[in-house]
Amino acid sequence: MLRLYDTATAKVRPLALRRPGAASLYVCGPTVYDAPHLGHGRFALVFDVLRRYLVASGLEVTYVSNITDVDDKVIERARQEGVEPGELARRYEETWWAAMDALGVLRPDHVPHATAYVARMVEVVGELVQRGVAYEIPDGVYLSTEAVPGYGLLARQPLDTLRAGARVEAVEAKRSPLDFVLWKKAKPGEPTWPSPWGPGRPGWHTECVVMSLDLLGEGFDLHGGAIDLIFPHHENERAQAVALGRDFAHHWVHNGWVTVAGEKMSKSLGNFTSLDDLLARGDPRAYRLLVLRAHYRSPIEVTPETVGQAEAGLARLDELARRFHLADPLAVGDPVAVVGEADDEDLDREAVARFVERMDDDLDTPGALSGVFELVREANAAADAGRATDAARTARTVAHLAAVLGLPLRGVRSAVEDPEVLDLVARRDAARAERRFADADALRTELVRLGWVVEDGPEGTRVRRP
RNA sequence: GGCGGCGUGGCCGAGUGGUUGAGGCAGGGGCCUGCAAAGCCCUUUACCCGGGUUCGAUUCCCGGCGCCGCCUCCA
């Protein structure tokens, strides 16, 4: 069974499923006010792999990830661009899904939008007021953090030390600086919804509580997001659930930062790096491989060099797929149940078991991947030694394990149709057959100049794109 | 000020109280190849510093140095 680090207990512990055989996950999605950056890509990939692995383990997985389509940043950005907030959000949501598709991230089973849940949020805020844990002041409704037992659990910091660090807030009417807004009363020009406290809009933290409980029910298995969401976002989600007396997430999982030049990547630091730029640069699978080569809780450094290294590793996997004519064992949208099918004679069961053991250990993708690369070497070595059956089985195992990680291998050589290239290849084969090697070399030079990789095999000249 | 993380070979990045230091990338040598490419084999004096615990620490403890993060919107 999968063991994962749980932020709430600061321990690696088994994912204790609410219902055996089924896993329910809620992962905080993006606020759609700008194009996604590398950090968004990482969290999406990390939880995509977690999800795929759970599916591969034979579990029935329900994966929910939201879209925050109304908040200060959306409104501000829309104002700058002179468009309606809703239109802006729709536009960046499209950008988001395009990037996710490029990365091979599976669509969530449910994608709740904050704007579609406002009425439910109003109900919840009303319930919190009724229970006496929330209070109304002139600019909105706030949750009283002091009324919540165990506030600070996720931050792993007691309430008083959190408060000691809090800066003076603009809203001085708050009872405590840590109290957070549940309902923001409308300011001119902002989108609004009706409520008992007048027109306004919900605070950020409420949507995830309402939507996760609505779609997954109480006591769902796992709540995830990037490390920066621990405090205050997840802390405040939990606070509301506790205040409501609802059983909330049983396991909290957070992934580490993407750093650029050693620093956290963020817009305010000016080192923001666009995910689209990276994806346009080369094979999107390289970023997945780069992300998976580090443990999900470690920071990863993204530089042209580390991306290049990932691309080289990917090329090694693809080369194996080419050598063994491995068709993609699955489409990107198709998680594969490798782990549970222990009777599959076409795979190296021991290698699969090692893979599972590593993945079960807090999603040790670097370890799992190292095993996959060992198999690559084994398969090639076996083939070199003439043990074709063993080699093919090992190679198939590579393809299947890579597929569990969401990395389809490109083993299919796309047919070359360019008559000029075909002519050069044919002339080169002829030259080699007649041992006119100077001519053959010249023809290879020409093919390389046209951007092809040239490989000679027993069956003649082969060309492919790099 | 409070809380937390990290410091491994040219680079990325796992991991462990003790014979043989994952894996990838890069470099070197070799095999194969007409030559290449790909592949395979071999290879390049790793664990920030100082104490401590221990028969033995890179791996545990303490201190120091350095880097990073959270405490405020943030993936």
pLDDT digits (tens, 9 = 90+) for A217-266: 999 999 999 998 998 899 999 999 999 999 999 999 999 988 876 666 65
Q: Which nucleotide is nearest to A305 (CA to C1')?
A: B11
Q: Which nucleotide is nearest to A260 (CA to C1')?
A: B68
Relative orientation angle of helices A235-244 and A204-216, to the nearest 10 degrees: 60
CA A331 to C1' B35, whole Å: 39
CA A346 to C1' B18, whole Å: 40
Which residue is closest, via its CA, to the C1' of B4? Answer: A156
Q: Which nucleotide is nearest to A371 (CA to C1')?
A: B23
pLDDT band of residue A282 (cuts 50, 70, 90) is confident
Q: Which nucleotide is nearest to A163 (CA to C1')?
A: B71
Q: With the C-alpha atoms ordered A121, A27, A35, A99, is the resulting torsion angle positive or negative?
A: negative
Q: Which nucleotide is nearest to A225 (CA to C1')?
A: B75
Chain B positions with any atom < 7 A from a protein CB: 1-4, 6, 11-15, 22-26, 33-41, 67-75
Is the separation of the CB atoms in A306 and A298 below 8 Å? no
Q: Which nucleotide is nearest to A169 (CA to C1')?
A: B72
Q: For position A300, what pLDDT does the model report?
A: 86
Q: What residues are paired with A184 via a beta bridge?
A: A140, A201
ipTM computed for the complex: 0.93
Where do the CATH 3.40.50.620 domains begin and end in chain A? 3-255
Kindly give, in sequence order, each residue whose CB lies less than 8 Å from that of residue A96, ignoring residues fewer than 6 positions away. Answer: A30, A32, A36, A40, A67
Flag whether pLDDT at A166 surpasses 90.
Answer: no
CA A17 to C1' B74, whole Å: 31
A12 membership: H or E segment, kind and range: strand A11-14
CA A299 to C1' B5, whole Å: 10
User: What mean pLDDT is predicted for residues A424-428?
Assistant: 92
Where do the CATH 1.20.120.640 domains begin and end in chain A? 301-404
CA A305 to C1' B75, whole Å: 23
DSSP secondary structure string for all residues of A376-442: HHHHHHHHHTT-HHHHHHHHHHHHHHHHHTT-----PPPPP--HHHHHHHHHHHHHHHTT-HHHHHH
Q: Nearest to residue A454, comparing CAs of A90, A345, A466, A332?
A: A466
| CATH class of this structure's domain A301-404 | mainly alpha
pLDDT digits (tens, 9 = 90+) for A432-452: 999 999 999 999 999 988 888
Say if residue A97 is exposed, middle or buried (CB neighbours under 10 Å; 0-12, 13-18, 19+).
middle
pLDDT digits (tens, 9 = 90+) for A175-192: 888 899 999 999 888 999
Expressed in percent and rounded to 5, the helix, strand and coil fractions of chain A are 50, 15, 35
Q: For position A209, what pLDDT does the model report?
A: 96
CATH match for A3-255 among 3.40.50.620, 3.90.1150.10, 2.60.40.1180, 3.30.413.10: 3.40.50.620
Q: Are strands A22-27 and A60-65 parallel, antiparallel or unpaired?
A: parallel
DSSP A114: G
**Beta strands per DSSP E along A108-198:** 134-137, 140-143, 180-185
CA A378 to C1' B75, whole Å: 38
CA A261 to C1' B56, whole Å: 39
Q: For position A333, what pLDDT does the model report?
A: 41
